[in-house]
Chains A and B, each alone.
Chain A
Amino acid sequence: MQEEPVLIVKNLSAVFPNGNGGLQALDQISFSVFPQEFVCVLGPSGSGKSTLLRILAGLLLPTGGKVIYQGSELDEPRRDIGFVFQKANLMPWRTVIQNIMLPLELDNISPADAERYAREMVKLVGLCGFEETLPRDLSGGMAQRVAIARALVHDPQLLLLDEPFGALDALTRERMGMELLRIWQARRKTVVMVTHSISEALLLADRVLVLTPRPGRIRLDFPVNLPRPRDEEIRYTPEFTELTRVLRGAIG
């Protein structure tokens, strides 16, 4: 990859104020993400993964270091970054289609265009027929599909996902992993995704960053050289098993 990185993270540190001297969540994190790359961040809970992602989204300012996004320093949220939260985080008073249209409304795109784009996204995430459904009538997996559609609808350059499937049951989670793979293969975006599932990371990622327990440091920056396009079958290959073993060892 000879291109310029989309995202450069330099010596990033995050300290949360607490009673005694502050709680260090991230310590000297540095890495770069290249266009169309899919990076997964793995680490035990409490290792600062969410903190890292919130900083990348411009929702939180680091206490040290900086983030350079497309050539300029990132110090506030950007409309060309999409964010998917652990909880689907839908507005309960909006239907599926209205939830997906939200980012376009905020961009003052005409309602007709907004609806057209949103309907494309509904198709992409496989929710046709549920356009007028309210979030309370969606299953967890469906709600998270809506969240992904909402994060993609305004065509952001960078997609950030914070354990998007963490609240789902194991089977749904596996299915959603495949869905995300399909969606990403249809619309190549630069992605940084936090997960604590090794197999999810290997299925999806070009690169895996493993964080240490608190304070989060990068323990391993690991390329996943599995062939693309990938599908379900890849889980059963010896290479996949070998990489799983390596990552499991690194996480400890």
Chain B
Amino acid sequence: MGVMKFSMKQIDQNNILINRAVNSYRPAIFLAIISLTIAAFLWWLISRLGNFPSFILPSPMDVWHRFVLSITDGSLLRNSLVTLQEIVLGLTLGVSVATILGYFLAKSHTFEKIISPYIVASQSVPIVAIAPILIIWFGPGIFSKILICSLTVFFPVLVNTVVGLRSVPEELQDLMRSLKSTRWQTISKLEIPGALPVFLGGLRVGATLSVIGAVVGEFVGSDKGLGFLINLGRGQYDTALVFVSVFTLILIAMSLYGIVVILEKRLLSWQQSSKDTILEHQ
């Protein structure tokens, strides 16, 4: 585990964080496994005792069989890859635009005044309301999903970029100025590392939302992807397929989240606070 290795590496460097980092990470994994096991057991118990038909509440075994089936016929992998592609491209687009725009917003109050009404207005419209329009304009293919996904990612990343850049101490700006740093030196040596903690917080939220964005896009109109698979399962009373798709989405969302958390651990190792479990981040 990247996170574990990180904790081990720290031991050499500094002996303040060691105990907290190592001791609290292991139980976190352990507890997560226990809680998942209990949840699966309860699910099984309810489906068993309630005697529900499989299209209302499939049992864990039903879902497992559906999972094996969708793996063997290749449909799960094929559709997951479509959704994953939308997410990755949507994230890339949304994060890039939000970061660049965020930089100019943070630097120029005039620009902020001109542009912020539009940004706030865009946030008051739910993405499900915009999605159909984007699909009308850009077709039912992958491009409209990428756009919808990037729009959901956009706002938290933008806000955190601005807040992060504004959190860079004025005295450090003065220091850079007194050393006659160029614009690019100030960006690369002060503003990027200084804004990073807050920025990564936004990325963490954005990464999770990106999954929602892609699925919303697929729901509104598509013939592939996990969102499409959920629609398909619902239409055919194949509730086990819905479960399989939802679990896959959860897995994708958690992996993205985990990647950002690992990124934070690596890039922000200089920070005092030891953020050891995933839940502590919320």
Is A83 positioned at the interface, with any CB of B under 8 Å from its CB? yes
Establish whether residues B179 and A79, one from each chain, have CB atoms under 8 Å apart when the complex forms.
yes
Is B266 positioned at the interface, with any CB of A under 8 Å from its CB? no
Given A93-B270, A105-B189, A106-B189: A137 and B181 within 8 A (CB)?
no
Partner of B179, one of A87, A102, A132, A133: A102
Establish whether residues A58 and B178, one from each chain, have CB atoms under 8 Å apart when the complex forms.
yes
Given A93-B193, A106-B185, A106-B189: A57 and B171 within 8 A (CB)?
no
Closest B residue, CB atoms, query A154: B179
Establish whether residues A87 and B171, one from each chain, have CB atoms under 8 Å apart when the complex forms.
yes
Establish whether residues B171 and A85, one from each chain, have CB atoms under 8 Å apart when the complex forms.
yes
Residues of B within 8 A of A59 (CB): 174, 177-178
Is B19 positioned at the interface, with any CB of A under 8 Å from its CB? no
Establish whether residues A89 and B172, one from each chain, have CB atoms under 8 Å apart when the complex forms.
yes
Establish whether residues B180 and A78, one from each chain, have CB atoms under 8 Å apart when the complex forms.
yes
Q: How far is the CB of A40 from chain B (nearest CB, A)?
A: 20
Is B31 positioned at the interface, with any CB of A under 8 Å from its CB? no
Closest A residue, CB atoms, query B185: A106
Establish whether residues B175 and A136, one from each chain, have CB atoms under 8 Å apart when the complex forms.
no
Is A77 positioned at the interface, with any CB of B under 8 Å from its CB? yes
Residues of B within 8 A of A64 (CB): none
Partner of A137, one of B14, B185, B189, B271: B14
Q: How far is the CB of B79 from chain A (nearest CB, A)?
A: 41
Q: How far is the CB of A43 from chain B (nearest CB, A)?
A: 21
In whole angstroms, how far apart are the Cα atoms of A76 and B177 in the complex?
Answer: 9
Is A68 positioned at the interface, with any CB of B under 8 Å from its CB? no
Residues of B within 8 A of A78 (CB): 180
Residues of A within 8 A of B110 (CB): none
Q: 0/1 per residue, A74-105, Cβ < 8 Å to B? A: 00111101010101010111100000001101
Q: How far is the CB of A27 from chain B (nearest CB, A)?
A: 24
In whole angstroms, how far apart are the Cα atoms of A100 and B171 in the complex?
Answer: 16
Given A93-B193, A137-B14: A57 and B178 within 8 A (CB)?
yes
Q: How large is the interface on A (under 10, 10 to 19, 20 to 34, 35 or more residues)?
A: 20 to 34
In whole angstroms, how far apart are the Cα atoms of A87 and B169 in the complex?
Answer: 11
Q: How far is the CB of B48 from chain A (nearest CB, A)?
A: 54
Which residues of chain B from 188 to 205 have a CB within 8 Å of any chain A CB? 189-190, 193-194
Establish whether residues B180 and A85, one from each chain, have CB atoms under 8 Å apart when the complex forms.
no
In whole angstroms, how far apart are the Cα atoms of A94 and B189 in the complex?
Answer: 10
Given A59-B174, A85-B174, A105-B189: A134 and B270 within 8 A (CB)?
yes
In whole angstroms, how far apart are the Cα atoms of A83 and B174 in the complex?
Answer: 10
Establish whether residues B193 and A132, one from each chain, have CB atoms under 8 Å apart when the complex forms.
no
In whole angstroms, how far apart are the Cα atoms of A89 and B268 in the complex?
Answer: 19
In whole angstroms, how far apart are the Cα atoms of A136 and B14 in the complex?
Answer: 11
In whole angstroms, how far apart are the Cα atoms of A76 and B14 in the complex?
Answer: 40
In whole angstroms, how far apart are the Cα atoms of A105 and B171 in the complex?
Answer: 19
Which residues of chain B from 130 to 177 have a CB within 8 Å of any chain A CB? 169, 171-172, 174-177
Establish whether residues B180 and A79, one from each chain, have CB atoms under 8 Å apart when the complex forms.
yes
In whole angstroms, how far apart are the Cα atoms of A136 and B273 in the complex?
Answer: 11
Establish whether residues A92 and B270, one from each chain, have CB atoms under 8 Å apart when the complex forms.
yes
Q: How far is the CB of A213 from chain B (nearest CB, A)?
A: 25
Residues of B within 8 A of A134 (CB): 14, 270
Partner of B178, one of A83, A87, A94, A137: A83
Closest A residue, CB atoms, query B169: A89
Establish whether residues B178 and A89, one from each chain, have CB atoms under 8 Å apart when the complex forms.
no
Is B129 positioned at the interface, with any CB of A under 8 Å from its CB? no
Most chain A Cβ neighbours within 10 Å, of B179, B194, B271: B179
Closest B residue, CB atoms, query A54: B174
Is B16 positioned at the interface, with any CB of A under 8 Å from its CB? yes
Closest B residue, CB atoms, query A150: B175
Establish whether residues A102 and B172, one from each chain, have CB atoms under 8 Å apart when the complex forms.
no
Is B72 positioned at the interface, with any CB of A under 8 Å from its CB? no
Establish whether residues A89 and B175, one from each chain, have CB atoms under 8 Å apart when the complex forms.
yes
Q: How far is the CB of A217 from chain B (nearest CB, A)?
A: 25
Is B108 positioned at the interface, with any CB of A under 8 Å from its CB? no
In whole angstroms, how far apart are the Cα atoms of A105 and B193 in the complex?
Answer: 16
Give 27 A-B contacts (CB < 8 Å), ordered by A residue.
A54-B174, A57-B178, A58-B178, A59-B178, A76-B180, A77-B178, A77-B180, A81-B178, A89-B169, A89-B174, A89-B175, A91-B172, A91-B193, A92-B270, A92-B271, A93-B193, A102-B179, A102-B189, A105-B189, A106-B176, A106-B179, A106-B182, A106-B185, A132-B13, A133-B14, A134-B14, A136-B270
Residues of A within 8 A of B (CB): 54, 57-59, 76-79, 81, 83, 85, 87, 89, 91-94, 102-103, 105-106, 132-134, 136-137
Q: Could you list 17 further interchain pairs (A-B, Cβ under 8 angstroms) beyond the known A77-B177, A83-B175? A: A54-B174, A57-B178, A59-B177, A59-B178, A77-B178, A77-B179, A79-B179, A81-B178, A83-B178, A89-B172, A93-B268, A106-B176, A106-B179, A106-B181, A106-B189, A134-B14, A136-B270
Closest 8 interchain pairs by CB?
A93-B270, A83-B178, A89-B171, A93-B193, A77-B180, A77-B178, A106-B181, A79-B180
